[in-house]
Amino acid sequence: MVFLPPIVYATIAEPFEVKAAVSAAVLAPIGFLMGMPFPTGVRLLKAHRPEYIPWMWAINGAFSVLGAVLAIALGIMYGSSHAMILGILIYLIALAISFVSKKKTITQVAT
């Protein structure tokens, strides 16, 4: 969030190809990190409660749609920075839940 405005202003006059390359470079790490919680959760669920995996896919799909709509609404009402901060916080909470679940799984396997 700190580095994004300078990057946008530095590339605003550049050709489309440069803007596309810069956009891909900025979004690739974010996309990679955002893509980690779901597969990790599926792996954990598969080991303990595989019957819930279809529900997990449904919840993921529903929250993907809800998150996109909510991000736009929050961006309009409070600004895109606030929407991005909220998104980051939600992903950090999901990461914390994942670590706690994984730690419980490791503890259960060890005992």
Residues 6+ apart with CB under 8 A from 85: 1
Decide if 89 is inside a domain: yes
Decide if 83 is inside a domain: yes
Number of structural domains, the chain? Answer: 1
Decide if 15 is inside a domain: no
Phi and psi, residue 22, nearest 5° = -65, -40
Decide if 1 is inside a domain: no
Condensed to tens digits (0 to 9), the pLDDT of residues 46-67 reads: 888 899 999 999 998 998 899 8
Report the alpha-carbon distance of residue 98 to residue 42 in Å, rounded: 11
Condensed to tens digits (0 to 9), the pLDDT of residues 18-45 reads: 999 999 998 898 888 777 778 877 888 8
**Would you report the helix, strand and coil content of the chain in percent, each value rounded to 5?**
90, 0, 10
